[in-house]
Structures are given as structure tokens and as C-alpha cells.
Amino acid sequence: MKKAVVFLCFSFVFMLSGCVFNANVDSYDENVDMTPRLIEIGEQTPITEVIASVKGAVVGVMAVTGDGYSIGSGVAVSDGGYILTNHHVIENAKSITIYLADQTTAGAKLLYSDSAMDIAVLKSEKNLPYLVCTTKELSVGEDVIAIGTPLSLDFKNTVTKGIVSALNRTVGISSLGGYTTYMQNLIQHDASINPGNSGGPLLTTNGEVVGINTLKASDAEGIGFAIPISVGQSVVKNISKDVNYSQAYLGVFAVDTEIAKFENLSQEKSGAYVYSIDENIASCLKEGDVIIKINDTEIKNSLDFRLYMYKLKPHDSVNITVVRDGEINELTCEVECRNF
């Protein structure tokens, strides 16, 4: 397994001093229907009609930070103005403005952010039309559409089309500190994406969201990656039910056993390998454990692990089956609360 070289900081960051920048909102389509509703599109609808229908749910995102601002994208996925974007688009934001497809803007509040998964949830001050999210199994070669705000707000609602190139990709992200972390279970596609597309949707040809675009290969063309929508959909579902939602947390960063095997850390064929432990949490797990079951649910990879954690609440008690030093252990753990 080769580690991909990628751009993770995929929002376009501008320094306020000395920056020549024209945020031309006049290029938005004032005739787009912004009525809050679920946008559903039938099979075999022409691509041009699909794009015209969905663009009301896609937004530009400007996050003002202490020394500048970043431009990214987002997509409304639930009634109430709940928007998915990337963590790195809104990281350290002091204020967030979203740019809508009808030449208007709205403020947005950050409700949730996860740096490990590069997912964030915003709540718009305006209710918006929103899209269907689908966790259907994709096929390599299937057509997909990307919509976003590459480079600047002048290019908002830019549409590109490509195919699914591969599934369940893992990419290594090298930090300035010299260590490597991983993004896993990604959808690889070749729809053209550029800085500013971060947080925008990857869509099927009938306008359903299958992923959130997050990064691209830095030394290649046509190699982009999207986070599976199942991750963001789970978070939004929880937050829309409880605005004070707190994420259940076991104090670990887990990776697929494929990664652990590649680094000669484990020979287990499936499960979620505990790669590191949060020093601030008294976890029942140890580095090197391979989680293979939580309660009665089999855990085949890190995505299974994370999706199950979204089902839990802080202070829940769970039974966890792990492989530790080659032996199966049954653990009972209390779930902590993760603050972001």
C-alpha cells in the first residue's frame, strides 16, 4: 500500500493585507429556487436539469480567521439549514458567512467539527433547500459530479464531472511536525477539484450526495478524494435531534488493519487497530489493540468503528472485543465525552 501525497489544506486561504480579491456575487443565479425543501430528482433526469435543481443547496463558505480568511464550499443536507463542510475550511474561524445561489448571504454558526475526519457541521441563519444523502454502494467507473467554489467566490457553483476511480482509499497526511496521520475509507474520483472545492458535495448523476470533497493529490492530475457521506450524515442526524449533541469518545485514534499490517504493527486481517491513545482520557483500550466487535456489532474497519461510536452517548457502557497480544479479550468500557 503506497501512501499518497496530498493537499489537505484544500480551502483557499487569503491574507487580508495586500490581497487583490473580487467577491463578485453578481455571478449567482437570482432565479434559483431557494424554497426550503428536500430536493429529490428522478432517475434518467438530464444532467443539466440535475445541476439546475441541486445548486440551491450548495453554498460558498468564507471563514474569517485572525490573520485572513479561507474560502471553501458546503452543502445543505437537512431541514433547518444544516450544512456539511470540511473542518479545515472553518478551522480557527472567528466568523462564518455562507454565499447562496440567489445572490444573498447568511451568517452560519459552527455546531461541530472533527479534525480527524475533516468534517464540520454549520447551521445557517436561513433555512435552505437540501439534498438527499445516499449510502448506496458505489461502483468503480460510475459517473459522479462535483460542485463547489474553486479558487474564489468568483467561481462559485462550478460544476465538474468524472467517474469513481477507486473506493476505500487511505492517504497519509504528513504534518509539519514530521508525523503521519491517515484519512481512510475515501472515495477516489477524477472530477476536477481545486482549492476552494473543500467541503462541497460529490453527487450521483441524479443529485444524491455520496461524499464531501476534501483533498487531492498534489503531484498528479485527476486524483481527488471525498469523505463518504455516511460519516457526515450520522453527525447531522444527531445534531438535528439535539443541538447540544456531544460525541461519544473512547480516547483512541483507530486505523484499518491494512495500515497496521503495512507498518508491521499487526497481522490481523480485519478490525480497527488502535493507533494512538488520547493522553487526557483514561481509556480501557491500549495501543496495539484490534477492535473486532462492539456489543453485538462486528467491526471490520475504522469506518465501522466510527459509525458505531456515533450511535452511542457519553457515559454509555459498552462491551468491546479486542485482539490483544494475539489473544481475544472481552472489555467493558465507559464512553467519554469528546469536546471540539
Compute the distance between CA of residue 30 and CA of residue 104 in angstroms, rounded to an integer.
9
Which DSSP category does 313 fall into?
-
**How confident is the model at residue 9, as a pLDDT?**
36
pLDDT class of 217 with cuts at 50, 70, 90 = confident
Task: Give the pLDDT band (50/70/90) at residue 180.
Answer: low
Is there a contact between 150 and 196 (Cβ–Cβ < 8 Å)?
yes
Query: What pLDDT score does 19 carry?
Result: 30
* Residue-wise pLDDT tens digits, 184-198: 889 999 998 887 888
C-alpha separations of 248 from 230, 278, 329, 333 in Å: 17, 14, 22, 12
pLDDT bin (cut points 50, 70, 90) of residue 6 is very low
How far apart CA 232 and CA 235 sit, in angstroms, is 5
Helices (H), 106-250: 229-241
Residue in this structure with the C-alpha cell 455571478, named with its chain if needed? 27
Cell numbers standing for residue 181: 496521520
Residue type, 154: D
pLDDT tens track for 229-242: 998 998 999 898 88
Three-state DSSP class for 47? helix
**Which domains are seen in the chain, by residue range?**
1-241 (2.40.10.120), 247-338 (2.30.42.10)
pLDDT at 18 over 50: no
The Cα 229–Cα 227 span in angstroms is 6
Where does the chain have alpha helices with state H? 47-54, 87-90, 229-241, 257-262, 302-309
Q: Is the pLDDT of residue 24 over 80?
A: no
CA distances from 226 to 115, 205, 222 (A): 15, 16, 13
User: Do residues 311 and 231 touch, judged by C-beta distance below 8 A?
Assistant: no
Which positions are catalytic? Answer: 88, 118, 198
**Residue 191 is which amino acid?**
A
What is the phi/psi pair of residue 249, to 5°? -150, 130
Please write the tens of the pLDDT for every residue from 84-115. Answer: 999 999 999 999 999 999 889 999 999 999 88
- % of the chain beyond a pLDDT of 90: 59
pLDDT tens-digit readout, 69-90? 889 999 999 999 999 999 999 9
How much is the mean pLDDT over the chain?
Answer: 85
